[in-house]
Amino acid sequence: MYRLLAYLLLLPLYLLSLLPLRVHYLFADLLNWLLGNVFKYRREVIDINLKGAFPDMPQVERDTIRRNYYKYLSDVVCEMVWAMTRSGSHILRKGFYRVDSESEKVINNSFGNSTSVVTLLAHTGNWEISSDLPHFMQKPAFGIKDMTAAYQTLHSPLSEQLFLLMRRKRLSSPDSLTASHRILRYMLEHRRQKRLYFFIADQYPYSGVSHTNTFLGLPTEWHNGGEVIARKLHLPVLYLYIDRVKRGEYVIKISQICSDASLTGPGSVTDTYAALLERDILNRKENWLWSHRRWKNLLPYNCSK
C-alpha cells in the first residue's frame, strides 16, 4: 500500500522532471525566494549553526552565507527533480558533473589492493546525483551495479518508500541501498565482489558507535560506523567531496584517507575525514547542509520547529 502511494506521489515529480534544466532553475529562483523570505526555512537552525561555527565573524557575513545557502539548497532540490529522468551519461554530456583526473586515479588505484572500498562523504554539492559516479569517470574500475550506500531507516513507512524509490532510481541496482544496521553483514556476504560502499558521515549520530572531536571549532559527535567496519575488514577508506563550482557545474574530488583502516588507531579515520570536510567547508562555506541540527548535544536549537 505504502509503495503504491509513494508511486502516486512521485508521479507529478517525474512529469515535472521532463522539463529542461533551465526551467528548473526558474523554479529554483522562486523556491529560493520562498525559503528565504516567506517561510524562512529553518532560519533559526541555520543562524545558530553559523554563529556556533563562526562566532567571531561579523553578522553581516553570516547573513550572506545564509542567503547563499538558500540559493544553493533551492538549486539542489530542483536539480534532484530534474535528474530523476536523466541518465548519468546525459548528466555528464550536459557538463553538470565530472570527476577530476587525479581523483579518478585515486579511486581506481584503491581497487588495486582491495575488492571493497569504503568512501566517506558529506552533504556537499548535489550529493544525490553523485550516485552516478562511474558515468562521470573516463575509465572507472567499477560500475553502477558495484555500488552500495548505507542509509538510516526512516520511522514513517511512507517516507521510507519515497526515499527508496527516489534513491534506487539513481543507483540503478536492487543492492544500491542497504540499511545501516545490516551493512556489515551485507559487506561480509559480498566481500569477494568488487564493490564501492558509500557512508554519508556528517549527520548527528542517532545511535550506535560514535567518536568525538573538534569540528568547525565545536565539540562534535560522529557516527563512525564506516570507520569501524573498514577497520574490521582491513579496507581502504576514501574521502569524497562535491565542489559546487557554479550553478549547474559540480566537480567530484576524491582523496585517500588510508590504504588499510586496520593499520590506523581508533578514531583516526574519522578525525581525518572531519579535518578534510572542515577544510572544504571553509573554502566554500555555503556548500554544506547548514539547516541540519548538527550539534544537538551542544547548541540551543528549538526542537519544536
Summarize pLDDT for 276-287 with one digit per residue, the tens.
999 999 999 999
Rounded CA gap, 220 and 210, in Å?
10
For residue range 182-233, list pLDDT tens digits in order. 999 999 999 989 999 999 999 888 766 689 999 999 999 998 999 999 999 9
Place of cell 549520530: 205
Query: For 143-147, 159-163, 177-181, 271-275, which range has the lowest pLDDT when averaged over its residues?
Result: 159-163
Rounded CA gap, 170 and 128, in Å?
8
93-102, 170-179, 228-237: range with highest mean pLDDT: 228-237
Rounded CA gap, 249 and 33, in Å?
22
Query: For 82-96, 151-165, 267-281, 285-299, which range has the lowest pLDDT when averaged over its residues?
Result: 151-165
Rounded CA gap, 301 and 305, in Å?
9
pLDDT score recorded for residue 305: 45
Rounded CA gap, 280 and 253, in Å?
10
Rounded CA gap, 98 and 297, in Å?
37
The DSSP output letter for 154 is P
Contact 251, 233 (CB under 8 A): no
pTM, to two decimals: 0.93
- Long-range contact pairs involving 266-269 (C-beta distance under 8 Å, separation at least 24): 266/211, 266/231, 267/211, 267/213, 267/224, 267/227, 269/120, 269/224, 269/226, 269/227, 269/230, 269/231, 269/237
Element housing 24 (H / E): helix 21-33
Contact 221, 204 (CB under 8 A): yes
Rounded CA gap, 82 and 75, in Å?
10
Cα 170 to Cα 83, 133, 185: the distances in Å are: 8, 10, 24
Nearest Cα residue to 244 out of 276, 288, 201, 202? 288
Rounded CA gap, 8 and 14, in Å?
10
pLDDT score recorded for residue 48: 98
Within 10 angstroms of residue 175's Cβ, the number of other Cβ atoms is: 16
Task: Kindly tell me if the per-residue pLDDT of 154 is higher than 90.
Answer: no
Rounded CA gap, 189 and 195, in Å?
12
Rounded CA gap, 215 and 275, in Å?
7
pLDDT score recorded for residue 167: 64
Query: For 34-48, 77-91, 244-258, 261-275, which range has the lowest pLDDT when averaged over its residues?
Result: 77-91
Q: Which residue has the higher pLDDT, 86 or 305?
A: 86
Q: Are strands 97-99 and 218-223 parallel, antiparallel or unpaired?
A: unpaired
Q: What angle do CA 250, 253, 257 make, to 5 degrees?
A: 155
Mean pLDDT score, 232-247: 97
Nearest Cα residue to 196 out of 158, 238, 251, 253? 238
Rounded CA gap, 205 and 201, in Å?
9
Contact 211, 224 (CB under 8 A): yes
